[in-house]
Chains A and B, each alone.
Chain A
Amino acid sequence: MIRWLPFDWFTAMRFMRDGWVQTIFILVGVSLGVGVTIFMSEMLSGVQANFLHRVLTAQAMIVVLPPDELAVALHTAPGVVEDAVLQRPNQRPRSIDQWQNIRGQIEATPGVSVVAPIITGPGLAVRGNASASISVIGSDPADYFRIVRVPDYIVHGQLRLRADDILIGVDLAQQLGVAVADKITVVAGTGGRAPRPLTVTGIFDLGSKGVNLRTTFVALRTGQSLVGLPGGVTSLEIALADPFAAEATAQLLAPRYGVRADSWIFTNKQFFIAVQAQNLSSLLIRISVGLSAAFGVASVLVVSVVQRAREIGILRAMGGRRGQILRVFLIQGGIMEFGGAVLGSALGAGILLAWNRLARQPDGSEMFPFLLDPWLVVGTVAVATLVGVLAGMAPAMQAARLDPAVAIRG
């Protein structure tokens, strides 16, 4: 080893090997801390990423709706209000005025990748004696299914939506006792239009019983005629290149077109509050793990300096400079934390992998993806090494300041 290492590195390694019990203890301590930290951060971001993925493949980033209908107080004469109690009007399906125009303009807005016109309304699905209340979503599959990834969740049949086709969930299919190619009759809940027979072309499973029971997809035209708004749409659903620009974009669109615009960030506010709290506690845990590792390293080195006082004095007597002695101990601090962090990263990755195998959703799919961000590992190792060098500072200065005459006398 001495053939290729300079004095300070060589001596640091030899001192650590010589005190191998302390070295192993501190390595184990640091790697446990780092391992848990890595596991925790990656699990958190995995769970968060998974949630985001689910949310963002199941709903639009922005939903543009017609403005709420407001009841206006009835004035019989200036300053005289006829009836002080305003009843909130019920929000029946209404079309967005000028939606083709608005759609075109939103599509031209920077950052917007898809705008899909949607018509939704309540309905009743009937087959023989069985019936179920459903929510009918009429859309142009070419646009809408780029936002809500229904195609990924088709379990029977195919994704075909012509004028007389309908896609239904597995639970509805079971309740009505239908399979692909069967016909069901859909009655609109609002318009009083004629019942319409539709062919089931595909059955999907969106992972939630409520959704699988209630949600159905039809072509835009079909939806319009069922809801009774020919040519109208009840919402425009938008996907953006950057999901996190949704709130800002929504706030820009609403006043510009006189519509309501709800971002997914707004509708999932609770989730983001939880994420913030998780990230804050994860930061606190990281800081305290880092500090306790630093104190561990420092105490090992303080003891080592005391034990080696005479040897340090001898090195100084042989011409060892203060800076060289200083570096021997700084390097030890750095190596202990570096080694601990590398082992800890492997440990963290191992726990993540095991957890990924063991913790599964009820349907057997993974609770969160196995992610090991290489930059998290590199960053952790770098920060840990720096912490080790800093932790070595006090003992190293103590060693460098030793008076060789006193140290040798003992």
Chain B
Amino acid sequence: MAEAPEALRLSGIRKSFSAGTPREVEVLHGIDLVLQHGEFCALIGPSGSGKSTLLNIIGLLDRPSAGALFIGGEATAGLADTALTTLRGRRIGFVFQAHNLIGAFTAAENVMMPRLLERNWPDAAMRAEAEALLEKVGLSRWRDTRVNNLSGGQAQRVAIARALAMNPVLVLADEPTGNLDTAAADGVFALLREINAQNSTTFLIVTHDVRLSALCDRVVELVDGRISTDKRQLHPG
């Protein structure tokens, strides 16, 4: 596929909750942001600044109140719900803070899920692909284990493998290491960097952990629903 130059473009994104009622609050006050292909970007900011809200909008889980959003060059304004669902399934991978996985499935089945949802019928290629992804995150041994029996760090690795299943342009991670101890968090973060280096997948990672944001190529800071700083940095290694 001839990729558009940008993985993500936001212009003038605003978000109000309870619109049209006396309790209406605007949480995002006009966000402009462009992520190039292969960028590895941290999104930081104090609690309540609107990071998760912004991530949901980028991930097409929520619609902005105003502004335009392009995923891999594709405009999303005016798309119907089903079209958004399809676009989300194909172009975006998610890693949430915790409890990312479907507990009733095995690790391999969780990783297959995005493809299975797209095609509805399983095939051998799907299975092989899921196994390859699990190998990449170092969990081959656990592929037939119910994910309820995995540790937090292992579960996050499965979630990462799953986020990559559709070979998305953009992976959104909302505090992917928030529930992990330092060692597990470092491992998961290193894995994200490694994938970024190998596949040039674009990452946007919300984190409170300054140690980890320091390892990103770019750090965007959100304060009270506005981007306050946006700096590129050279990271060691």
Contacts and interface: CB of A to CB of B under 8 A. Distances in A.
A and B held together in a complex:
yes
Interface of A: 2-8, 10-11, 14-15, 17-18, 310-311, 314-322, 324, 404-405, 408-409
B200 interface: no
Interface string B102-122: 111100010011101110111
Interface residues of B, number: 35
A249 to B, nearest CB: 60
A317 B94 contact: yes
B112 A2 contact: yes
Given A317-B59, A318-B94, A405-B56, A3 B85 contact: no
Nearest to A310: B99
The residue in A14, A317, A322 that gathers the most chain B C-beta atoms within 10 A of its C-beta is: A317
B196 interface: no
Given A6-B122, A314-B96, 12 more contacts: A3-B124, A7-B116, A8-B120, A11-B102, A18-B104, A311-B103, A317-B88, A318-B94, A318-B114, A321-B85, A404-B61, A405-B61
B130 to A, nearest CB: 10
20 contacts: A2-B122, A3-B124, A5-B122, A6-B122, A7-B120, A10-B122, A11-B102, A11-B104, A14-B109, A311-B102, A311-B103, A311-B104, A314-B96, A315-B102, A315-B113, A317-B59, A318-B113, A319-B86, A405-B61, A408-B96
A3 B82 contact: no
A409 B88 contact: no
B114 A15 contact: no
B49 interface: no
A316 B61 CA distance: 9
Interface string B67-105: 000000000000001100110111000101001111111
Nearest to B94: A317
A311 B147 CA distance: 13
A316 B104 contact: no
Given A15-B104, A408-B96, A318 B62 contact: no
Interface of B: 52, 56, 59, 61-62, 81-82, 85-86, 88-90, 94, 96, 99-105, 109, 112-114, 116-118, 120-122, 124, 127, 162, 166
A314 B90 contact: no
Contacts of B166: 319
B121 A319 contact: no
Contacts of A316: 61, 85
Q: Is the interface of A mostly helix, strand, loop or mixed?
A: helix
B109 A2 contact: yes
A216 to B, nearest CB: 77
A61 B120 CA distance: 62
B82 A321 contact: yes
B66 to A, nearest CB: 18
B168 to A, nearest CB: 10
Contact of B114 (A2, A17, A310, A319): A319
Given A319-B118, A405-B61, A408-B61, A314 B102 contact: yes
Given A310-B99, A315-B102, A319-B90, A3 B127 contact: yes
A2 B117 CA distance: 12
Contacts of A11: 102, 104
Given A2-B109, A408-B96, A318 B117 contact: yes
A17 B114 CA distance: 21
Contacts of B100: 314
Contact of A7 (B90, B94, B117, B124): B117
B207 to A, nearest CB: 18
Contact of B122 (A4, A314, A319, A409): A4
A148 B182 CA distance: 94
Contacts of A322: 81-82, 85
Given A14-B104, A409-B52, A317 B117 contact: no
Nearest to B100: A314
A3 B90 CA distance: 22
